[in-house]
Structures are given as C-alpha cells and as structure tokens.
C-alpha cells in the first residue's frame, strides 16, 4: 500500500455507483472525499471549501466536464484538477490539458495511479500556496520597510 | 445428313438477311443495337455527330466555292466578250470614219464641175477602189436628188433619189450612212453620202459611195467565237445587216427581244425564260444605224468547272475519309479513357463507401468504448474495494454482506457491458446481406441506444413517437439501421445544444412503413438540398459526404425511398419509407 496522504479531494461523476465505491476506497486510504454528481453541484462545493485535488469526469449530462473545468479554473486558478474519461481519446485529453487540467486519466483507472496523481497534485498545491505566502511575506517586508 | 445441314444453313442465312433488312428498315431496332453497349453507342453517336458537324461546313464551303468559281468564270468570260466587242466596234467605227473622211476629202478637193466630168470621177473611183477594197460604185447627186455622174458597174446616171429617206436626211445633215440594201446584183450593200455646200450659190451637192457589206461582215466574224455562238450586225429596228448563223439572213428580222444602252456595250445574261442566248452582247456603233450583236450559246465558261469539279470532289472525298478516320480514332481514345475513368470511379466509390463504413464503425466504437468503460470502471473500483477490505480486515465474516452487495454491483456492471456488446454485434451484422422480419421500432431503439449518450451529453431533447401498431417488415435489419444511424447522426450534428430531434414511425399505406426524423437545426438551403444525396457532397466540414448517398442507395436497393423537407433556421425532416415486403434484398 502507498503511503498515506492527507488531502481533501472532490470527486465529480454522473455515475453514482462509481462515486460511492471510489470514495470509499479513497477514504480507506486516508483521504477526505467529497462527491458531486454534476458540474453545477461541483461548482457550488468549490465555493465553500478549499480542495487539494478535484477528480472530474469528462462526459456528463448537463454541464460537460470541460465546461466545468473551465469554470472552476476561472474562479479558482490554483485548484488542481485531474480529468477522468471513459472515451479514451487523445483529442479530449489534449483539450482538457489545454483548458488547465493537471492530468488526464482513462477509465477504468488504477487506484494506485489515482493516488499518485492526487499526491502529486497536493504537492504542487502546497508549493503554490507556499510561494504565494512567500510572495505575500516579501510584499509585506518591502511595503513596511522595517 | 449433309442435305439437312445445307437446309439448315440456308435457313440461317435467310434469317440473317431478314434480320439485316429489319435493322435497315426499322430505325428503332437500329437504335436498339446502338444502345446495347453504352460505350459503343456513345462512340457511334459521337462519330455521327462529329461527322455531321465537320462535313456540313465542308459541303457548304465546297458548294459555295463551286458556284463562286462558276460565277467568276462567267464574269471573266463576260469581260472578255465585252473587250472583244469593244475592239470590233472600234474597228468598224474606224472603218466607217475612214470612208467618210475620204469622201469628205474628195468633196473638198474637187468642185462639183470637176466631178461632173465622167473621166475624173472614174479616175477617183478606180484609185479609191484600189486603196480601199469593198467600194462598189460612186456617184455625184445634185440638190434636186438627181444623180449627175456615176462610176460603177451599173448605169445609174440620172437616177432620181429625191424621194428617198436618206436624201431627205442628208439635206439637213452633212453626211449619211444607210442601212444595208440589196443592190441590183442581189448583194448586200450600204451607202455613205457626204454633202458639200456651195455657199456663194446657196446650193449643195452630194458624193455618194456604195460599199459591199462583206467587208463589215469580215470585221464581225473577227470576234473570237465558238460553234454555237453567233456574231452579226443589226440596225436599230432589228433588221439583220449581215448574215447570222441562227437568226436568219440579211434583211430578215432579228426575232429576239433586245435592248441596249446607246453609249455603252451591254452584256446581258438571259434568264431561263428568255430562250436562245445565254449571254448576249450589244455594241451600238457610233454615227451609224448599226448594232454589233454577239449571241453566246455555247457557254464555254461551264466547261472549265468540270476539271475544277473533279478536283473539288477529290478533295472532298479525301477530307471526308480523313475527318472520319481522325474522328473515329479520337473517339476511340476518348471513350476508352471515359470507360477507364468510369471503372476507376466505380472502384473509388466502392473504396470510399467502405471507408465511410469504417468511419461510422469508428464513431460507433467511440460510443461503445464509453459505454463499456463506465461499467468497467465501476467493476474496477468494486473489486478494488473488496481487495482493500480483504487487506485491511481479518474478520471476513463480518464483511459478508458488504461483499455480496459489491459482487452484485459487479454483476450489474458486467450485464451492462454485455448489452452493449450484444447491441454492437447486432449492429455489425449489417455487413452480411440478410432477410429479417423485424419491427422497425426495435431497430430504431437499438440505433437510438447507441446515440443516446451523445444525445444526453449534448442536452438534445429526443422526442419519440413510435406507433405500436405498425406491421413488421421483411428487410435487411443491419442496412436499415445504418440508414437510421446516418440520418440521426446528421440530425445530432445539425442541432444546437438543447435542440430537439423528433423521431416517429407510422404506417404510410398498406405497402410502406414511414420513419420520420425531424430536427430543429439550421436547415439546408434550397440550392444545396438537391445535392445532399450526391456522393462526396458534405456541408459539415468533417465527414466523407457519403452518409446520405449510401443511405439513399441502401433504401433504393431495399425498394423504399428517402425524401427530405427542409426550411432554413427551422429544421430538416427526413422521411424514410421502408417497404413492408422488400422486393430485392
């Protein structure tokens, strides 16, 4: 088993069964998992909470995966989003990466791989946050001029 | 035995001849033979058309140039005739002028008294006759018209001319040239008279000479003529002055109508109605009552075209052979090219049709992958969770319920995959030609099943109105489904997000079931509508442009029909009529 990662993850997929089982498995690995069955719901959840990673299905009725991705990125540019798809076509993957996804996984995906991507995403996010803080500190230092 | 064979052969020959005659005399049969082989008939038609097109101008040119050439020859001949007549006319005029001059010379040299002496007159007569042949006699006439002295072969001294017209004329004019008359010897003559005024006595006298007409006749026959032609002199009243070949003798009346201009030579071409001469020339001789007439009947200009005609015919025939040979060769090449191109095109269409089939399979495959990958993901996660549980816990008994539910979930997902693969198999059967009894609604539902996800993901509203009471049809299910797939795919491409597609099925009449696929998309412009069933025609940008053409072909093969109604910005409606019993499957 992989080492335990503490991270807040949001799963977005229209298949409820899939959501249920995947979240159980992730929770078993120590992650804090939240789920939503549509893009709209996911957008709502993102507003209220800071997630370390979001796993997003590409093909969904209503707001599509790509659309959801774009909207989340526009509101929260430092959120790490991993795309998941059943289509298995490179085209869609490229489109997703261009739209700002950090990674792209094909269904059915290996649990270890998902965990790897999530931990990677978390590392990136921590780095981003630290950098931000550093910048803030620098700014404070410069502006105050002690 | 051999006799029998001979009889048979004879019969065969008869039938063959009969057939040949039939073909010759029945144009429809002839055309029937033409249409047996498409390319052969094309060849024959092109050759015929080309032959007509190329030979018609040739014939026109040849005919025109033939008549043109004839006209030139005729004109040329006319000019030549005119020239000859002019020459002769001048010679005659000169001849007359000369005689007149001599008489004037004599009248001005000698006095009346001198000439009244018989010996002087005789002397002049003999000298005159020696120098200028044709002189018959010479005489001196006084103002009363009495011939005072005369020198010649007759005893005409004392003859009274006072009542004659020429004498009356000469009283007012200075000289006179008479018509031809028969002398005492019955030889045609004409007379030249010159008046001499004696001013101091207020009187006059006349010197008159008679000249043999043969002299003038010599001039007339100097005109270069052929056997059928005639040249002679008439006076203004049409009385012959010299003998003619065909128009009578001297002093007879010239019977043809004639007219001419006094100041010029007229060349007249007689129309067909005006009898004997083809070309007539009239040359009025100045200061005389005469007209030189040429009657040309031999039409020498018509003889030259014989040579020309032969050459022309030769050139024409050569041209015909050449042009037909070239045409046949060209047509042969072109039609063979067309044939090859057609064959290549057929092969290409077959290939693209295949490619299009592959493309639609690809599109299906993408849908199928999605369909299968989702349940597979669930299976994956459920199995993974079971593994997680097994690894994490030692008391399996407690987890029994959990396991059973997870396994149930796995079975469900496997079933989902199975339906998908079954549908796919049912669909791929369209490669084989079959003859199924099917419910159109089932076939439609299967197709819609494949496209459902795409419809849902694009938020397209699908409105189904499938009548339960439609009869089952005997047709090729796979083929029919491909048609539906193509048309519904097009509808999906045509509508915007949240568009509407309405699919309905119902009985059109006792022979056909109709499926109507209607979308509220952009519609097809009228000018493009007539092309949509043509192969390689596409408005989508992507795609092969074969979907509808293949669909059209399939439905035709199955004995049905497709038609389409479309309105810009309102949508398109396809109607597919499927026969309840396909005639050809």
Q: Between B225 and A80, whose confidence is greater? A: A80
Q: What is the pLDDT of residues B235-252, one digit of tens each?
A: 888 888 888 888 888 888
**B381 part of a folded domain:** no
Residues of A in contact with B457 (CB under 8 A): 59-61, 64
Residues of A in contact with B410 (CB under 8 A): none
Cβ-based neighbour number of residue B313 at 10 Å: 12
What is the pLDDT, as a whole number, of residue B273?
A: 45
Going by C-alpha positions, the residue among B304, B228, B293 that lies closest to residue B76 is B304
Domain boundary residue, one of B300, B331, B365: B300
Q: Is A90 on the interface with B (CB under 8 A)?
A: no
Q: Which of B374, B412, B456 lies closest to A61 in CB terms?
A: B456
Pull the structure tokens for residue B408: 């149930």
Q: What is the DSSP string of B243-299?
A: --SSS-STTSBP-S-----TTS-EEEE--SSS-S-SEEEEEEPTTSSEEEEEEE-S-
Residue B195 maps to which CATH number? 3.30.450.20
**B28 part of a folded domain:** no
Domain that includes residue B213, residue range: 99-300
Residues B148 and B157: beta-carbon distance below 8 Å: yes
**B265 part of a folded domain:** yes
Cβ-based neighbour number of residue B378 at 10 Å: 26
Q: What is the pLDDT of residues A86-100, one digit of tens each?
A: 765 677 788 888 888
Nearest CA in chain B to A19: B378
Predicted confidence band of residue B425 (pLDDT cuts 50, 70, 90) = low
**B296 part of a folded domain:** yes
CB contact under 8 A, B380 and A24: no
Rounded (5°) CA angle B459-A11-B364: 45
Going by C-alpha positions, the residue among A42, A33, A28 that lies closest to residue A7 is A33
Examine the pLDDT at B276 and tell me if it is beyond 70.
no
The model's pTM = 0.45
Q: Is B364 on the interface with A (CB under 8 A)?
A: no
- Taking the mean position of all CA atoms in its chain, how far away is CA A8? 9
What is the pLDDT, as a whole number, of residue A33?
A: 92
Residues B534 and B349: beta-carbon distance below 8 Å: no
Pull the structure tokens for residue B497: 């997000």
Of the listed ranges B81-85, B101-105, B295-299, B549-553, the one predicted with least confidence: B295-299
What is the pLDDT, as a whole number, of residue B271?
A: 58
Cα gap B351→B338, rounded to integer Å: 19
**B493 part of a folded domain:** yes
What is the pLDDT, as a whole number, of residue B584?
A: 46
What is the pLDDT, as a whole number, of residue A1?
A: 42
Domain boundary residue, one of B300, B329, B356: B300
Cβ-based neighbour number of residue B161 at 10 Å: 21
**B373 part of a folded domain:** no
What is the pLDDT, as a whole number, of residue B22?
A: 65
Q: Is A24 on the interface with B (CB under 8 A)?
A: yes
Lateral strand order in the sheet of A81-85:
A32-36, A8-12, A53-57, A81-85, A103-106
What is the pLDDT, as a whole number, of residue B574?
A: 93
- Total domains present in chain B: 2
Residue B564 maps to which CATH number? 3.30.565.10
* Sign of the Cα pseudo-torsion (B502, B505, B508, B514, in order): positive
Go through the domains of chain A in sequence order and give each one's CATH number.
8-144 (3.40.50.2300)
Select from A107, A110, A112, A115 the residue whose CB has the most chain B CBs within 10 Å, as the one to mutate to test that interface. Answer: A107
CB contact under 8 A, B388 and A25: yes
What is the pLDDT, as a whole number, of residue B152?
A: 84
Residues of B in contact with A22 (CB under 8 A): 381
Residue B26 is classified by DSSP as -
Q: What is the ipTM of this complex?
A: 0.72
Q: Is B430 on the interface with A (CB under 8 A)?
A: no
What is the pLDDT, as a whole number, of residue B582?
A: 62
Residues B433 and B585: beta-carbon distance below 8 Å: yes
Burial of B281 (0-12, 13-18, 19+ CB in 10 A): buried
Examine the pLDDT at B430 and tell me if it is beyond 50.
no
């Amino acid at each position: 088993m992989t080492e335990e990662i503490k991270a807040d993850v949001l799963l977005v997929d229209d298949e409820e069964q899939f959501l249920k089982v995947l979240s159980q498995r992730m929770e078993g690995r120590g992650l804090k998992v939240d789920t939503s069955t549509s893009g709209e719901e996911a957008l709502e959840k993102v507003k209220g909470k800071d997630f370390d990673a979001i796993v997003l299905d590409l093909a969904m009725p209503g707001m599509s995966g790509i659309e959801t991705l774009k909207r989340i990125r526009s509101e929260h540019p430092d959120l790490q989003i991993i795309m998941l798809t059943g289509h298995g076509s490179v085209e869609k993957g490229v489109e997703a990466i261009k739209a700002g996804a950090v990674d792209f996984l094909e269904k059915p995906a290996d649990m270890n791989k998902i965990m790897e991507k999530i931990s990677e995403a978390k590392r990136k996010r921590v780095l981003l946050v630290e950098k931000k803080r550093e910048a803030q500190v620098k700014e404070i230092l410069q502006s105050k001029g002690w | 035995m051999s006799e029998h064979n001979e009889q048979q052969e004879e019969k065969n020959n008869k039938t063959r001849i009969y057939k040949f005659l039939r073909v010759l005399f029945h144009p429809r049969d002839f055309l029937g033979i033409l249409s047996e082989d498409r390319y052969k008939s094309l060849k024959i038609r092109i050759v015929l058309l080309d032959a007509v097109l190329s030979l018609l101008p040739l014939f026109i040119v040849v005919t025109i140039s033939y008549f043109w050439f004839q006209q030139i020859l005729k004109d040329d001949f006319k000019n030549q005739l005119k020239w000859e007549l002019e020459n002769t006319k001048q010679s005659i005029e000169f001849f007359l002028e000369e005689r007149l001059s001599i008489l004037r010379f004599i009248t001005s040299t000698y006095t009346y008294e001198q000439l009244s002496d018989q010996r002087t007159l005789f002397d002049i007569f003999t000298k005159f006759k020696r120098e200028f042949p044709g002189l018959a006699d010479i005489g001196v006439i006084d103002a009363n018209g009495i011939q005072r002295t005369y020198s010649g072969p007759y005893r005409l001294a004392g003859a009274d001319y006072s009542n004659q017209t020429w004498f009356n004329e000469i009283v007012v004019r200075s000289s006179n040239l008479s018509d031809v008359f028969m002398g005492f010897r019955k030889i045609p003559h004409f007379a030249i008279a010159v008046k001499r005024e004696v001013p101091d006595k207020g009187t006059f006298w006349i010197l008159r000479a008679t000249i043999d007409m043969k002299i003038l006749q010599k001039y007339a026959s100097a005109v270069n003529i052929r056997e059928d032609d005639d040249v002679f002199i008439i006076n203004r009243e049409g009385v012959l002055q010299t003998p003619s070949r065909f128009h009578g003798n001297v002093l007879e009346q010239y019977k043809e109508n004639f007219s001419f201009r006094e100041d010029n030579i007229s060349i007249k071409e007689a129309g067909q109605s005006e009898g004997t001469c083809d070309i007539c020339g009239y040359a009025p001789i100045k200061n005389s009552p005469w007209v030189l007439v040429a009657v040309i009947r031999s039409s020498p200009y018509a003889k030259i075209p014989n040579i020309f005609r032969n050459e022309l015919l030769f050139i024409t025939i050569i041209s015909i052979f050449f042009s037909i040979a070239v045409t046949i060769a060209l047509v042969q090449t072109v039609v063979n090219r067309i044939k090859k191109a057609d064959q290549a095109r057929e092969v290409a269409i077959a290939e693209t049709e295949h490619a299009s089939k592959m493309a639609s399979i690809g599109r299906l495959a993408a849908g199928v992958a999605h369909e299968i990958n989702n349940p597979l993901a669930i299976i994956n996660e459920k199995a993974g969770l079971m593994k997680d549980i097994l690894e994490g816990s030692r008391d399996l008994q407690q987890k029994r319920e959990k396991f059973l539910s997870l396994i149930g979930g796995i079975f469900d997902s496997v079933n989902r995959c199975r339906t998908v693969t079954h549908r796919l198999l049912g669909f791929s059967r369209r490669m084989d030609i079959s003859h199924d009894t099917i419910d159109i609604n089932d076939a439609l539902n299967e197709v819609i099943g494949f496209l459902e996800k795409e419809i849902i993901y694009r938020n397209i509203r699908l409105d189904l109105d499938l009548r339960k009471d439609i009869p089952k049809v005997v047709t090729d299910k796979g083929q029919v489904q491909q048609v539906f797939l193509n048309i519904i795919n097009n509808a999906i491409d045509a509508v915007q997000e949240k568009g509407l597609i309405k699919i309905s099925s119902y009985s059109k009449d006792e022979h056909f079931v109709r499926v109507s696929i209607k979308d509220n998309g952009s519609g097809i412009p009228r000018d493009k509508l007539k092309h949509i069933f043509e192969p390689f025609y596409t408005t989508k940008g992507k795609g092969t442009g074969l979907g509808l053409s293949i669909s059209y072909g399939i439905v035709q093969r199955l004995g049905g029909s497709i038609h389409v109604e479309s309105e810009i910005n309102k949508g398109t409606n396809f109607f597919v009529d499927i026969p309840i019993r396909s005639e050809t499957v």
